[in-house]
């Protein structure tokens, strides 16, 4: 690989690192607001929040929740794993902040 090619590769890596550090890292397609809103959320009877089965959620959302300890904030919503003790990740709940 030429020196110019290596420099270009290093510059791209540096841009990615800086974007991550600055919090401007682009979310995968499945985590965009329109993608999340289209998942067929079911409202809780209380009217406070919505839920879906985890196995119907985008893999990126499940991964994000797992990496963040089961709770994360995206696009004005708080997302959390919910479920019975024998399957605590059965559902994903979201509440508008």
CA distances (Å), origin 37, targets 62, 70, 71, 73: 15, 19, 18, 14
Residue 53 belongs to some domain of the structure: yes
- pLDDT tens digits, one per residue of 7-19: 888 888 887 776 6
- pLDDT tens digits, one per residue of 18-37: 666 655 444 555 688 888 99
In the chain, what percentage of residues exceed pLDDT 70? 87
Q: How many domains does the chain have?
A: 1
Residue 68 belongs to some domain of the structure: yes
Domain that includes residue 65, residue range? 27-96
53/47 Cα distance (integer angstroms): 18
pTM, entire model = 0.69
- pLDDT at site 46: 93
78/16 Cα distance (integer angstroms): 26
């Amino acid at each position: 690989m030429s020196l110019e090619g290596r420099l270009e590769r290093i510059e791209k890596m540096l841009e990615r690192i800086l974007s991550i550090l600055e919090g401007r890292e682009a979310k995968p397609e499945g985590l965009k607001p329109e993608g999340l809103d289209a998942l067929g959320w079911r409202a809780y009877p209380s009217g406070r929040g919505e839920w879906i089965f985890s196995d119907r959620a985008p893999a990126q959302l499940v991964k994000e929740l797992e990496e963040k300890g089961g709770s994360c904030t995206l696009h004005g919503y708080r997302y959390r794993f919910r479920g019975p003790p024998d399957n605590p990740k059965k559902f994903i709940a979201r509440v508008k902040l």
